[in-house]
Amino acid sequence: MGKHVLVIEDEPNIIEAISFILSRDGWTVHTHSNGHDAVDTVLARRPDLVILDVMLPGRSGYEILTDLRGRDETANLPVLMLTARGQTKDREMAERLGASRFMTKPFSNAEVLEALRELVPA
């Protein structure tokens, strides 16, 4: 049983792609597709890592990240942020809020896998 990863993303095609790639790499993948109850899902699933999209329906990725970092259980949870708005200020915002890693869409599959391995050593 590999490490658990929770993918919080609203675009179905992207969820499917990421799920396929991570599963093939040996991760146990769970997905969540809106912002409203994303934090609850994290707390419930207790993943080893979270992949978090910025633009989510209901609640933005930044708000969710702030929430997670504010909780003892998740303060040190590795979070890889993904965004389609690839501007510098988005990256700065993510780093300030405590994102473990920040990647711009479209990403290369290998890059994502490598980042995950770094964030959660086997």
Partner 1 sequence: MAVTASLNLLVAVCLGYVALLFLVAFAAERAALQGRGGWLRSPVVYTLSLSIYCTAWTFYGAVGYAARSGLEYLTIYLGPTLVMIGWWWGLRKLVRIGRTQRVTSIADLISSRYGKSTLLAVFVTLIAVIGTTPYIALQLQSVTASFASIAQADPNAAPLEDNRNIALWVAVGLALFTILFGTRNLDANERHHGVVMAIAVEAVVKLAALMAVGVFVVWGLGGGVGETLARIDASARGHWQVDGARWAGLTFLSAAAFLTLPRMFQVLVVENDDERHLRTASWAFPLYLMLISLFVVPIAVVGLETLPASANPDQFVLTVPLSQGQGALAMFAFLGGFSSATSMVIVAAIALATMVSNHIVMPIWLRLTGGGAVMSGDVRHVVILSRRLSIAAVLALGYLFYRVSGGGAALATIGLVSFAGVAQFLPALMGGILWRGATRLGALVGLSLGFALWIWCLLLPSFGVGVVISEAVLTQGPWGWGWLRPQALFGITGIDPMVHAIIWSMLFNAGGFILASLVSFPTPLERLQGAQFVNVFQHSARTQNWAGGTAQSEDLLVMAQRILGPAQSQALFQDEARRQGLAGYLPEPNPDFLARLERELSGSVGAATAHAMVGQIMGAATVSVEDLLAVADETAQIMEHSSQLEAKSAELTRTARQLRAANEKLTQLSVQKDAFLSQISHELRTPMTSIRAFSEILRDGGAVDPAMQSKYAGIIHGEAIRLTRLLDDLLDLSVLENGQVSLNLRSGLLSEVIDHAVAATGLENGTLRLHRDRQAEQVMLQTDLDRLAQVFINLIANAQKYCDAQAPELTIAVQARDGELLIDFIDNGAGIPRAAQAVVFEKFSRVSDQKAGGAGLGLAICREIMARLDGSIAYLPGQGGAAFRVTLPLAQRLAAQ
Contact residues for partner 1, defined by CB under 8 A: 10-14, 16-18, 20-21, 24, 34, 55, 57-58, 84-87, 104-110
Q: How far is the CB of 68 from partner 1 (least distance, A)?
A: 22
**Is 55 or 97 the residue whose CB approaches partner 1 more closely?**
55
Q: How big is the CA angle at 42 (ends 38 and 87), to the nearest 5 degrees? A: 60
**Is 61 or 74 the residue whose CB approaches partner 1 more closely?**
61
Complete DSSP assignment for 44-103: HH--SEEEEESS-SSS-HHHHHHHHHTSTTTTT--EEEEES---HHHHHHHHHHT-SEEE
Q: How far is the CB of 108 from partner 1 (least distance, A)?
A: 7
Residue 111 near residue 103 (C-beta atoms within 8 A): yes
Q: How far is the CB of 86 from partner 1 (least distance, A)?
A: 6
> 3-state DSSP call for residue 36?
coil
**Is 70 or 106 the residue whose CB approaches partner 1 more closely?**
106
**Is 57 or 70 the residue whose CB approaches partner 1 more closely?**
57
